[in-house]
Amino acid sequence: MVIKLMVDKIQWDQFVDQSPYGLLYHKWDFLKLIEKYTNYKLLPYSIYKGEQLACIFPMFYKKVLGLKFLFSPPPQSGVPYLGYVLSREYDCLKQTAKETILNLLAAEISDEMKKLAPNYFSAFLVPGLMDVRHFKWLNFGVNISYTYKIDLNQELKDIWANFNSNCRQNIRKGEDLKCKVKISEDTSVLTDLLKDRYNEQGMNYLINPDYLKELINTYPDNLGLYCLYDNNKIIGGTLNHKYKWYLGWIGLVKAKDKKYKYVNEYMIWKFIEEAKELGFSKFEISGANKQKLCQYRSKFNPKLETCLELYKNDIIGKAAEGIYLNFFKKI
């Protein structure tokens, strides 16, 4: 295998579109906007087996106070996963061929990291990429995280019936408020809601509303900012991701007013209806990693999926890890 930095945007995006593991976050312009607003340098690695492109792996590099960080995705991007993308042919290969590719992939990435010598490396992989043995054998660490997904291949009435009775009741209560879900272009509405929520928890929310606005303008068919209104009063908002599967990406802030206690269940149900209507086969509900959110999210009877994080750090990186875990990783 050969590893190099790709410069061909068209080839990169075609690879992402064709792979079952490629997400909107992997698209070239999305990555360039992450680079612009996080001040991390984009390293768009491409890995070839012979003449064939077998894998892409976008990484982001930054040097801070003498420390070198390598992320996929970087902090302050809001992106839940990134990591490497395998080709569309990968899933059809025999196991020996799969393991050959994964072994060479891990070796090439490990060699490249020796050149960059980051003190701290972290890559959150797309759900479904579970075989990371070859990275473990090269002394990469692995953390497990989770997400929820609903199978939209079912009839809508069956999806509804699978919600627990409390969830269905809450959705009806949310409907009774007669609030309206509308598409908005004002990303500051969402970031202001999130800032307030984070501040209540003693945390900082540093995502730039201009970053979200540029993303929406770049991908108008795949990203939508939805706000919930009671007449002219904004109750909540979320930025939804619609590419290969449907995800309420950023938002769904809990309303302070108890009158609106059930609006989030109502909004999620409306988004499930939209995702079904648009022909998506999967609907993702984030929050499976947070204990206080699990009981709420599990009311929708989703399937639990596993996601993996690859990481590696040296002695200095281990010291810096505390800063990362306690501050950046919360974003």
Q: What's the confidence (pLDDT) of residue 180? A: 87
Q: What's the confidence (pLDDT) of residue 243? A: 95
Q: What's the confidence (pLDDT) of residue 250? A: 77
SS3 65: coil
Say if pTM beats, i.e. exceeds, 0.75: yes
Regions of the chain short of the pLDDT cut 70: 197-206, 252-256, 320-331
Q: What's the confidence (pLDDT) of residue 199? A: 61
Phi and psi torsions of 175, nearest 5°: -65, -35
CATH superfamily entry for domain 2-146+308-330 = Gcn5-related N-acetyltransferase (GNAT) (3.40.630.30)
pLDDT per residue over 170-228, tens digit each? 999 988 888 888 888 888 878 777 777 666 655 566 678 889 989 999 999 999 889 88
Rounded to 10°, the helix 165-176/263-277 angle is 100
How far, in Å, CA of 3 to CA of 10, rounded? 18
How far, in Å, CA of 269 to CA of 168, rounded? 9
CB-based contacts of 223, cutoff 8 Å, min separation 6: 24, 215, 216, 239, 240, 241, 242, 249
254 close to 240: Cβ distance less than 8 angstroms = no
| Exposed / middle / buried, residue 286 (Cβ in 10 Å: 0-12, 13-18, 19+) | middle
CA 189 to chain centre: 21
163 close to 192: Cβ distance less than 8 angstroms = no
Q: What's the confidence (pLDDT) of residue 325? A: 54
The third-level CATH classification (topology) of the domain covering 154-280 is: Aminopeptidase (3.40.630)
pLDDT per residue over 311-320, tens digit each? 999 877 777 6
For the chain, the domains span 2-146+308-330, 154-280
Is 154-280 in the same CATH topology as 2-146+308-330?
A: yes
pLDDT per residue over 296-329, tens digit each? 889 999 999 999 999 999 877 777 666 655 555 4
Cβ atoms within 10 Å, residue 235: 22
Q: What's the confidence (pLDDT) of residue 44? A: 98
Q: What's the confidence (pLDDT) of residue 262? A: 83
